[in-house]
Amino acid sequence: MIYRENGQFKTSYRADQQIFPILQDRAFMLGLSALALVAVPFGASDYMFRAILIPALILSLGAIGLNLLVGYCGQISLGAGGIMAVGAYAAYNFFIRVPQLNFLVVLILAGLCAAFVGMLFGIPSLRIKGLYLAVATLAAQFFTDWLFSRAGWFTNYTPSGSVSTPTLTMFGWAIDTPTEKYLLLLGLVFVFALCAKNLVRGHVGRAWMATRDMDVAAEVIGIRPMYAKLTAFGVSSFYLGVAGALWGFVYLGSWEPLAFNINLSFSLLFMIIIGGLGSILGNFLGTAFIVILPLLLNRIPASIGVHLSTATVSHLESMIFGGLIIFFLIVEPHGLARLWSIGKEKLRLWPFPH
Amino acid sequence: MNARHIGERILAVEDITLSFGGVQALAGVSFDVREHEIRAIIGPNGAGKSSMLNVINGVYQPQRGAVTFLGEKRRHMEPHRTAKQGIARTFQNLALFKGMTALDNIMTGRNLKMKSSLLAQAIRLGPAEREELRHREYVERIIDFLEIQAYRKTPVGRLPYGLQKRVDLGRALAMEPRLLLLDEPMAGMNVEERRDMCRFILDVNDEFGTTIVLIEHDMGVVMDLSDRVVVLDYGKKIGDGTPDEVRNNQAVIDAYLGVQH
């Protein structure tokens, strides 16, 4: 009864093209923003920040990047972790070699380096499609794994091969408490998500989706496949690179090449599949699912009074987690974002059936 | 119809020969298309009609022969180059972008005309948004013309077949083409949908002066709509002329309309 768009008439195309054309959606988003900006910083515990909010925000940024490529442009990639590693190591090198750079500039530069590498590994997409391309992008993953563990220059010749970052400062403000990190990430993710949404509803986004849905027809309309695919790889890798830099600097603090191995690529892929391919909102839902579910599974046995050994708990966790993923893919292959929009459709009519 | 002025010839295909492995799809086909006319290509199944369209807009590269469009002669051409020159087409088995709405599908037709950079689109303030709105306005005119206002926000995969055909036509029209290639625009339609589609084709030709090359199996439609007809059979041209000439051509009657007993 509350969620109705009756009487909300659009009198201009600009009003019709808003991200949230329905008043109730805008109110909901405003409330959510207020919650995230005011309530969470005061209410959340240190553990909440460290274990859930900070990684979830960074991973959702990475998921947006991967979704632009896989969900919008239809180019399957298994190299996301490798591209994130490029971003992280690029940021590290800019940070220690040119210390006077502002962290935001470092982030952008790291993103650009990742975009360059991503486009390089995207070149095979001009000739191969689907699963074959997925295998080709694996090369990005293994190449970066190898490069950053073998070439000492990238890690500044640290004997152990792991690098650690100094405290972040920005405009004379030291970002060291979890709350500050959270607020920084919130701001960045907000801006980047907005930009991603704008891209996918602009003409480049339509070029990506056209290439995904029917590449011959797209070409006949005048969309150059090379342009569409390489920009998708570039923008996607830029996002992944920024996410990688944040993952290293803000979440991990110190890391070794293994931190960006293929498991990370798979996690990101699961996030966008569960969240919903071709949806910006889906990235957040999918990330929340993947980050929070294991933590919940971990706590449930203890909270209902069943005491199991840690090994059993972790095995059970993997099994239930895998089962849930399969369940989701069968019940709703278009992900949580589709469930969300079906829910909204139903809500528009509630309490009537039609 | 009478006010329509048939102009100079804008497209000429000369001696087009195309084969796939051992199968010869087209063998030395030549014909021309004049500005503002409706030119039909007819022929039995497998005669090479769709292949001909694919050669004209650059999807297939012929082994021999050349295509001259607006005075520019070419043998090898990428589809996006011909799109830039002003050739648009619709497809026989719908090739719409299924995951996108009808509006977005037609908007992709404007892509060649949209110039704002990646960064400008990401920020989407000022010029990028104005550009988007300007093209939206043009696309809305096409949506009005094709009478699909109610479906603009529906994903095309969910639309019935007849409406999908209209969206396909709308996407081609959004390119503001000089030459429009229609590959069986009325296949699989019922009588009313056919009538609507005929009306759209005549209106496009009449109001925008768009030159149209069309493939169609419905003889009534072909004879009524087109100014001149090319007849293909087994990749060879067996007839060319006005509908009346073609109708009375003995080779065409034998090969296509059937031998009279």
With H, G, I as helix, E, B as strand and everything else as coil, classify residue A3.
coil
Q: Is residue B117 part of a domain?
A: yes
Q: What are phi and psi of B179, to 5 degrees?
A: -130, 130
Sign of CA dihedral B159, B178, B76, B233: positive
- Judged by a CB distance cut-off of 8 A, whether residue B136 touches chain A is yes
Q: Two tokens at A326? A: 């399969």
**Same domain as B202, residue B145:** no
Identity of the residue numbered A269: L
pLDDT tens, A96-136? 888 888 889 999 999 999 999 999 999 999 888 888 999 99
Whether A193 and A36 have beta carbons less than 8 Å apart is answered as: no
In this structure, is residue B91 part of a structural domain? no
| Paired strand residues for B237 | B232
Angle among Cα A46, A51, A52 to the nearest 5 degrees reads: 100
Do B172 and B53 belong together in one domain?
Answer: no
Domain end residue (candidates: B116, B150, B176)? B176
Residue B211 sits in which domain range?
1-86+177-261
- Distance, CA of A318 to CA of A265 (rounded, Å): 17
Helix or strand holding residue B143 (H, E)? helix B127-146
Same structural domain, B148 and B22: no
Tokens of A30: 């405003």
Note whether B77 and B154 are same-domain residues.
no
Q: Say if the Cβ atoms of B118 and A221 lie within 8 Å.
A: no
- Chain A hits for B111, Cβ within 8 Å: 203, 206-207, 210, 221-223
Examine the domain organization and report whether B201 and B166 are in the same domain.
Answer: no
| C-alpha gyration radius of chain A | 21
Tokens of A16: 């019709």
| Residue B162, SS3 per DSSP | helix
Q: State whether A218 and B97 contact (CB < 8 Å).
A: yes
Nearest to A214 by CA among B98, B254, B44: B98
Positive or negative CA dihedral for A42, A43, A49, A53? Answer: negative
| pLDDT tens per residue across span B174-187 | 999 999 999 999 88
Higher-confidence position of A2 and A170: A170
Q: Residue B243 belongs to a domain with what CATH number? A: 3.40.50.300
B70 three-class SS? coil
Has residue B110 got a pLDDT over 90? Answer: yes
Whole-number pLDDT of residue B151:
94
Give pLDDT tens digits for A228-252.
999 999 999 999 999 999 999 999 9
B47 and B117 within one domain: no
Cβ within 8 Å, pair B121-A202: yes
Question: CB A223 to CB B99 under 8 A?
Answer: no
Q: Hey, are the CB atoms on B137 and A13 less than 8 Å from each other?
A: yes
What is the predicted ipTM? Answer: 0.89
- Give the position of tokens 């993953």: A141
Q: Could you tell me the pTM of the whole model?
A: 0.91
Query: CATH says A50-349 is which class?
Result: mainly alpha
Residues of A in contact with B91 (CB under 8 A): 217
Residue in B with minimal Cα distance to A213: B97
Is the CB of residue A204 less than 8 Å from the CB of residue B124?
no
What pLDDT is recorded for position A101? 85
Q: What is the pLDDT of residues A80-89, one digit of tens each?
A: 999 999 999 9
Q: Do residues B73 and B104 both lie within one domain?
A: no
Same domain for B228 and B256? yes
Whether the Cβ atoms of residue A196 and residue A282 lie closer than 8 Å to each other: no
In a domain, B10, yes or no: yes
pLDDT band at B261 (very low <50, low <70, confident <90, very high): low
Same domain, B78 and B184: yes
User: CA-nearest residue of chain B to A199?
Assistant: B122
Tally the domains of chain B.
Answer: 2
Judged by a CB distance cut-off of 8 A, whether residue B94 touches chain A is: no
DSSP 8-state secondary structure symbol assigned to residue B174: T
Residue B40: is it exposed, middle or buried by C-beta count within 10 angstroms (0-12/13-18/19+)? buried
Q: Max CA-CA distance within chain A?
A: 68
- Which residues of chain A make contact with B132, given a CB cutoff of 8 A? 17, 202-203
Which of B141, B176, B211 corresponds to the end of one domain? B176
Evaluate whether B230 touches B240 at the Cβ level (below 8 Å). yes
- pLDDT digit string (tens) for A199-211? 999 999 999 999 9
- In the structure encoding, which two tokens stand for residue B252, read together? 């065409």
Instruction: Give the chain A residue whose CA is nearest to the CA of B54.
Output: A220
The structure tokens 């809305």 sit at: B140
Is B237 inside a domain boundary?
A: yes
* Tokens found for residue A329: 């893919």
Residues B66 and B40 in one domain: yes
In chain B, count H helices and then E strands: 10, 10
Domain-embedded: residue B92: no
Inter-chain CB proximity B121 and A198 less than 8 Å: yes
Position B242 in a domain = yes
| CA B81 – CA A222 distance, rounded (Å) | 7
Structural domain ending residue among the three candidates B157, B176, B195: B176
The kind and range of the H/E element at A263 are helix A262-275
